[in-house]
Structure 1
């Protein structure tokens, strides 16, 4: 049966099961993707399915409830941002167990215009994947929220600096990503992002030092600077 906008969650899941691959599932584990509830379907296959079935808020909730990795990714990809509320994201966050799910959810948070609520609240949350959501959302916003004023990102840089001592792998990598993306957003934001990066690089704390040094390396790369200058021409 071909999938369409009218397809139910059960029909979508039944189709996903026909695409399961144990070989792919094993490969995903090597990239730190939680595979205990995965079918082993790559995102390159899931994305066209998402376009095929289109958006449906009710079906997205049903897909999320299956707890299957691929169904949850489709839930995120096909939800209706205008229908997504903070309570829904909070409930999803309580079940986060993979950086991949977090980073996809960051897009939904931005699309649903919840970034201003989610970012400070989740940065303050001690749960690893929830805090990662804050920084992943900053990085995503820096890339996709084109109309967001620079002052917003300057304020969010303060959160990166405040939590740069969190040594947990999925947090520190997201904090680094956020710092780099803000610095690459515009020439105006490059200077404050680089200042934070240099401050962290000079820190005696190993995690902050790593986040800072890696960001300084990219933000001072001539290719990065040339791309930023090209944006202003």
Structure 2
């Protein structure tokens, strides 16, 4: 039985015992990188995380195994308050999947590491750049006390990287733009203006991002739900 005192090796052995080839095959259909996957669902990993508890050092030992489930479990069990910018950079350097990025991005935001957003946005690696925009999208929803001006400032990054045609970047840029625009009345106007500008771009990627965001930011029912 695994528990709070279990080491990374013991936990990894337990994960390997749960391997499901059928689930691995299903993951591939959702664009999840399965090279090292064992086929354990995220809800099951979340239950395992509750069983073993948080342990920052152990989480990094699990991360170093390069096994998809061990890395997801590492994200679930690291301690955000202890996470340093250098540790976040170290994790980001290993990102190779949208699901890892999106899970880590929320943790980086909750750890107060939004200062890394601009740095990650300028990084040429696809999944590191995606991290920046996934962080913006998450911050727009979860950082209720953050001034709107911070979110509006990040729209400059959206504009600068809206021509990156890589699938996992362009979708995250679009996601960030939409979430900023839906955050508040103050954020909606500049986000809408940027969406309109991008929609008229000669660049195909920017045009797609702008047009898709426009649909969300001009939807009357969604606009009505913006509280402030």
TM-score range, shorter chain: over 0.9
Question: Separation in 2 of the partners of 1:189 and 1:220?
Answer: 13
Question: Separation in 2 of the partners of 1:57 and 1:170?
Answer: 28
Structure 2, unpaired ranges of 5+: none
For the aligned residue pairs, the C-alpha RMSD in angstroms reads: 1.1
Deviations 1:42-67 (A, max 9, x none): 11211122222221101101110111
CA drift of 1:144 comes to 1.1
Q: Which residue of 1 aligns with 2:133?
A: 135
Deviations 1:49-92 (A, max 9, x none): 22222211011011101110011011111111121111111111
Question: Separation in 1 of the partners of 2:144 and 2:54?
Answer: 23
Q: Which residue of 1 aligns with 2:86?
A: 87
CA drift of 1:145 comes to 1.2
Consecutive aligned runs of 4 or more in structure 1 exceeding 4 Å deviation = none
Q: Which residue of 2 aligns with 1:16?
A: 15
Q: Which residue of 1 aligns with 2:209?
A: 211
Question: Separation in 2 of the partners of 1:84 and 1:219?
Answer: 34
Q: Which residue of 1 aligns with 2:144?
A: 146
Q: Which residue of 2 aligns with 1:41?
A: 40
- SS of structure 2 residue aligned to 1:167: coil
Question: Separation in 1 of the partners of 2:134 and 2:81?
Answer: 21
CA drift of 1:175 comes to 0.2
Q: Which residue of 2 aligns with 1:66?
A: 65
Structure 1, unpaired ranges of 5+: none
Q: Which residue of 1 aligns with 2:6?
A: 7
Instruction: Report matched runs for 1:74-113 at 5 Å.
Output: 74-113=73-112
Question: Separation in 2 of the partners of 1:111 and 1:55?
Answer: 15
The alignment of Structure 1 onto Structure 2 pairs a total of residues equal to 228
Question: Separation in 2 of the partners of 1:56 and 1:145?
Answer: 25
Deviations 1:87-141 (A, max 9, x none): 111111221111111111101211211112x110011111111111100110111
Question: Separation in 2 of the partners of 1:222 and 1:5?
Answer: 49
Q: Which residue of 1 aligns with 2:225?
A: 227
> TM-score if structure 1 supplies the norm length?
0.95
Question: Separation in 1 of the partners of 2:48 and 2:112?
Answer: 25
Instruction: Report matched runs for 1:108-119 at 5 Å.
Output: 108-116=107-115, 118-119=116-117
